[in-house]
Amino acid sequence: MNDKTIKNGRYTLLRTLGSGSQGETWEARDEGALARPDPKRLASDFEAYVKRAKRDAPDNPSPRGLVAVKRFRVGTAKSWKDVELAEREATTLATLSHPNLPVYLDHFEEDGALYLVMEKIEGESLVPGETKGVDVVRMLEDLGDALQYLHSRTPPIVHRDVKPANVIRRPDGSYALVDFGAVRHRLEASGGSTVVGTFGYMAPEQFQGRASTQSDLYGLAATALAMMTGRQPEDLPHTGLGIDVEASLPRGTPRALVKTLAAMLTPDPDARVGSIEEALTMLRAEEPREAPSERAKARRPREPERPRDPEPERGRRRERRRERRARRDDARRARRAGRRGPPMFARVFAMMGLFVAALVVGVVVGLIVPTVLYLLSIVFGARLRVAAENVRAAQKRADAAIVRAIGRVRGTSPELEGVVEVRVAGEGSPDEEQADRVRVADGPPAERGARVHVDRARDIADGEDDDLDDDEKDREARV
């Protein structure tokens, strides 16, 4: 028989399951007992057995069954840190017991190599693009339970290398997390932290040696995204430093799954979802639905409005009519008083001065100064363009003031000249207000003062149409 045996014939190496630059993982058969007992190691093996029993470690699940043996060649290690990581994986697995994690069986040193013996988990490692039979939600739940177990340990255990190659899908559809070669026992920052992980699946903080439990959430979400899209995380659409989850996933992906992956893949660890428990809660949350009462309310026909009592309404209309007549009388007296202007020669002199002022303001302030500022803004920036706009606004205000002054000189009411809209509010609802509009015709500033149009001037003078409307409403109410 050509199969190689180790540990005095206890394990027979059958075939390689994977290999790297510093070691391999073998499928081996556990012979169940030492083929050639070594008296020197009986005492140490017995002590190890007692320690596992006190720890309630599971016994060998299948004597003479298949196991996985991970061999690390110390001589090919690039640094002593690699040897430390290999020993750390063995000591960590020896303390764990979870259905979605491999079962620790043994570890030892032989012929310049470190050996770690684990339960062989039946199934296949995940490969991005090969999504047949892969249930991403089931994977997130199974691996999430395993990570929750690791993170709840004291101190918390950080895997640091969650990726498709370290996830095994069992024949029954469940998932297990393997390969604890990058595990970290503590979260405290320490000098000389090693950057461990796989590019694309590593959280940004791992590049600084600051891995935390949230780093595993990032790796788990990146694994799920790679399985759903068939592409490596670094090849997916990005927004800034983060993966654009919504743009990466196909249409029809459940909204809760999209939100969960986006929360787990946030580049900033402080803004990332805080724990695997929160992530699983988001994943299992249902989309909000419209309450049945709201839908029934939307389908319910509107009730017809009840007719209002005409008597109180008629009284309010009479009161508003009296108020409008009083305001019209006041406006008529104000217009008569406004027509009494200064002497004719003073008016002519003032009109000439105002026309000259309007011309100067229009040419200098309205044209020359803004043009110069706009040209200078090409060299000195946008602040001069803002100044040019402010000058134009000042020119408009000056034009309006000149128009009002021309109105006063001509003897018209200052209250009506140059006003864009005068709204006279009466008592009652806003739709019962009376609005009297005064428009100034378009044209140069000097001509605006000469062409002032008053909307509904005849209505303001006598108000006959308002009275007729109220009389008509009274007749309708009586009917």
Convert the pLDDT of each residue in 83-115 to its tens digit: 887 888 888 888 999 999 999 999 999 988 999
Q: Higher confidence at residue 382 or residue 64? A: 382
Give the global pTM.
Answer: 0.52
More confident residue, 355 or 289: 355
Q: What is the CATH number of the domain that holds 158?
A: 1.10.510.10
Mean pLDDT, residues 355-364: 85
| Confidence band for 317, pLDDT divided at 50, 70 and 90 | confident
Q: Is the pLDDT of residue 358 over 90?
A: no
Q: Identify whether residues 336 and 427 lie together within a single domain.
A: yes
* Residue at a domain's end among 89, 119, 149: 119
Q: Label each residue of the chain as H, E or C.
A: CCCEEECCCCEEEEEEEEECCCEEEEEEEECCCCCCCCHHHHHHHHHHHHHHHHCCCCCCCCCCCEEEEEEEEHHHCCCHHHHHHHHHHHHHHCCCCCCCCCCEEEEEEECCEEEEEEECCCCEECCCCCCCCCCHHHHHHHHHHHHHHHHCCCCCCECCCCCHHHEEECCCCCEEECCCCCCECCCCCCCCCCCCCCCCCCCHHHHHCCCCHHHHHHHHHHHHHHHHHCCCHHHCCEECCEECHHHHCCCCCCHHHHHHHHHHCCCCCCCCCCCHHHHHHHHHCCCCCCCHHHHHHHHCCCCCCCCCCHHHHHHHHHHHHHHHHHHHHHHHHHHHHHCCCCCHHHHHHHHHHHHHHHHHHHHHHHHHHHHHHHHHHHHHCHHHHHHHHHHHHHHHHHHHHHHHHHHHHHCCCCCCCCCCEEEECCCCCHHHCEEEEEEECCCCHHHHCCCEEECCHHHHHHCHHHHHHHHHHHHHHHC
69 and 213 co-located in one domain: no
93 plus 43 within the same structural domain: yes
* Residue 296 covered by a domain: no
The answer to whether residues 278 and 343 belong to one domain is no
Q: For position 143, what pLDDT does the model report?
A: 96
Higher per-residue pLDDT: 38 or 181: 181
Catalytic site includes residue 161: yes
Same domain, residue pair 115 and 128 = no
Q: Which residue among the candidates 106, 161, 216, 399 is catalytic per the annotation?
A: 161
Instruction: State whether 13 and 43 are in the same domain.
Output: yes
In a domain, 294, yes or no: no
280 and 339 belong to one structural domain? no
Report the pLDDT value the prediction gives residue 186, as an integer from 0 to 100. Answer: 40
305 occurs within a structural domain: no
Most confident option among 51-65, 70-84, 206-220, 379-393: 206-220
Q: Indicate whether 129 and 115 sit together in one domain.
A: no
Mean pLDDT calculated for residue range 112-121: 91
pLDDT level of residue 79 (50, 70, 90 thresholds) = confident
| Residue 250 and residue 397 share a domain | no
* Mean per-residue pLDDT, 404-432: 52
Higher pLDDT, 287 or 337: 337
Range of the domain at 420: 310-478
pLDDT at 394: 87
Looking at the domain assignment, is residue 398 inside a domain?
A: yes
Q: Which of 85, 119, 153 is the last residue of a domain?
A: 119
65 and 175 both lie in a single domain: no
Quote the pLDDT of residue 228. 92
Residue 26 has pLDDT above 70, yes or no: yes
Domain boundary among 81, 98, 119: 119
Total number of domains in the chain: 3
For residues 216 and 318, state if they share a domain: no
In a domain, 456, yes or no: yes
Tell me the pLDDT of the chain averaged across its residues.
75
Q: Say whether both 425 and 451 belong to one domain.
A: yes
pLDDT at position 384 over 50: yes
pLDDT(140) > 60: yes
